[in-house]
């Protein structure tokens, strides 16, 4: 990686089976697999994205495992994360309820950097029942009332709905927040110029 390259670290969090790996694989490799295995430990993917201002940014996508037994491992990747996708599935109502726990875990375990952009992702929109949409929207609205800084995306990794837009938006938001932080000296990390050695640590 060259000296002037910018890299943002994005982590996915949420219950097992909601589609975190599928979202990342759709975005990074444009593939979808019905019989994908549950993540063991943690996975990584990389993808370059071009921002509106034509700057190129490398995204490091950290794919955590949703199973309870991997929670403490997931926590060890929270450090210096630049953006978070909190994922639930329309197929698993409990996964929405459980998001507050994931948010609490992130907020109490990351390294105190403020203003980390976060997106609420309702995945498997292809399985969302027509008659459930209104109820689901109400739940999301209530959630956004409480977590005002969140954006919301309704995605389908299977049908490739809004997957690119989701990452593009997050990358743009991270970029503008970090630029702002750099300018105003807020408690937001400045744009990072990575070199091979620094980047090598992986997290
Ligand atoms: P863990 O690794 O256990 O934390 O789960 P995960 O959140 O990574 O879920 P994963 O991507 O493994 O997906 C779980 C199941 O849901 C798989 O069978 C996927 O094929 C399926 N799936 C993922 N996204 C979608 C989607 O958008 N629509 C549909 N219909 N199925 C999906
Ligand atoms: Mg997974």
* Residue in the structure block whose two tokens are 């005002």: 148
Whole-angstrom distance, CA of residue 158 vs CA of residue 156: 5
Residues in the chain with pLDDT values less than 70: 1-4, 112-113, 181-203
- How does pLDDT run across 20-79, given as a tens digit for each residue? 999 999 999 999 999 999 999 999 999 999 999 999 999 999 999 999 999 999 999 998
Nearest to 109 by CA among 148, 81, 146: 81
DSSP state of 1: -
Ligand 1 pocket, CB under 6 A: 16-22, 33-34, 36, 38-39, 65-67, 123-124, 126-127, 156-158
CA 170 remoteness from chain centre: 8
Which listed ligand is nearest to 18 at the C-alpha?
A: 1
Residue 25 tokens read as 């694989």
pLDDT of residue 137: 97
Closest residue CA from atom 12 of ligand 1: 38
**Distance, CA 113 to ligand 1 centroid (Å)?**
30
Q: What is the pTM of this model?
A: 0.90
130 Cα to the center of ligand 1, angstroms? 21
* Runs of H (alpha helix) within the chain: 20-29, 71-75, 93-97, 99-109, 133-146, 163-184, 196-200
Distance CA 162, CA 167 (A): 9
pLDDT given at position 3:
58
**Alpha carbon separation from 201 to 27, 37, 70, 175 (Å, rounded):** 24, 27, 20, 22
- Position 173 scores a pLDDT of 97
């Amino acid at each position: 990686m060259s000296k002037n390259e910018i890299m943002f670290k994005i982590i996915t969090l949420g219950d097992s089976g909601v589609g975190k790996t599928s979202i990342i694989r759709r975005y990074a490799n444009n593939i979808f697999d019905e019989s994908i295995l549950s993540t063991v430990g943690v996975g990584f993917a990389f993808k370059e994205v071009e921002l509106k201002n034509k700057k190129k940014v490398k995204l490091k996508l950290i794919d955590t495992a949703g199973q309870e037994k991997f929670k403490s491992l997931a926590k060890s990747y929270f450090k210096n994360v630049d953006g978070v996708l909190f994922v639930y599935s329309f197929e698993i109502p409990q996964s929405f309820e459980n998001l507050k726990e994931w948010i609490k875990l992130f907020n109490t375990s990351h390294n105190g950097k403020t203003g980390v952009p976060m997106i609420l992702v309702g995945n498997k929109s292809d399985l969302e029942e027509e008659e459930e949409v209104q109820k689901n929207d109400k739940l999301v609205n209530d959630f956004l009332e409480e977590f005002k800084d969140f954006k919301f995306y309704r995605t389908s990794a299977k049908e490739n709905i809004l997957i690119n837009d989701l990452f593009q938006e997050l990358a743009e938001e991270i970029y503008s927040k970090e630029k702002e932080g750099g300018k105003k000296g807020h408690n937001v990390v400045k744009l990072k110029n990575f070199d091979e050695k620094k980047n090598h640590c992986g997290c």
